[in-house]
Structure 1
């Protein structure tokens, strides 16, 4: 499964040099993942209420390739790499036209209301495959 999410760089996203502050790339990929999950029909509030679990990022491995700047139009591409009973691994890339600016591999798990690891709900695993 793949997904594309457009983002425009605003002044608030940049540092003193007018380039995107490094931590904001994590915000950009989080927004894209949230939109991706929503477009697949996964209601995270319902998942919490019905299954008692929420998604949590377990690991992010990121590379910064080139800087983005104020007013750039970017696209975050998200695709599934692996789905197991307990985790989801996605690859995300931020592009400006044909230029790769940022890439990350993100491991997502489910946790219950006490913060303990939990299995991904079966219906969610089916959607993600």
Structure 2
């Protein structure tokens, strides 16, 4: 399953050199994951009411190119692996066919005490 989210680069996204500030790519891919979760029908408010939230445990990121003011970008999100305890997603930020940023993101579920818990079966099912 692949989800794409279009994003435009705004002035606030850039640094003094006029290119996207490196940390903003992490914001872009977060938006991609958040919209993907909505797209598959997962209600994070419902999860929170049940005492479970997602947390990013690990990010491996490669910066491959530079986006600039007014660029139209696409955030591509794909599930790489789902286990009982974690979700690994592969994400790209692209300008046309050019890959500017690539990341592997590992997310886990945590309870209200901040302890890791298994992904609920319903969540795993929606992600396959």
- Shorter-chain TM range is over 0.9
1:89 matched residue in structure 2 = 88
- Flag structure 1 segments of 5+ consecutive residues without an equivalent: none
Counterpart CA distance in 1 for 2:102 and 2:125 is: 26
1:104 matched residue in structure 2 = 103
List aligned pairs for 1:1-129, cutoff 5 A.
1-50=1-50, 52-129=51-128
Counterpart CA distance in 1 for 2:2 and 2:76 is: 7
* CA offsets 1:13-72 (integer angstroms, 9 cap, x no match): 00001000000000000011000000100010101113x110000000000000000000
How many residues matched?
128
Counterpart CA distance in 2 for 1:5 and 1:121 is: 26
TM-score by length of 2: 0.99
Cα deviation, residue 2, structure 1: 1.2
Provide the aligned C-alpha RMSD in A: 0.5
Counterpart CA distance in 2 for 1:90 and 1:62 is: 12
Cα deviation, residue 93, structure 1: 0.3
Counterpart CA distance in 1 for 2:47 and 2:38 is: 12
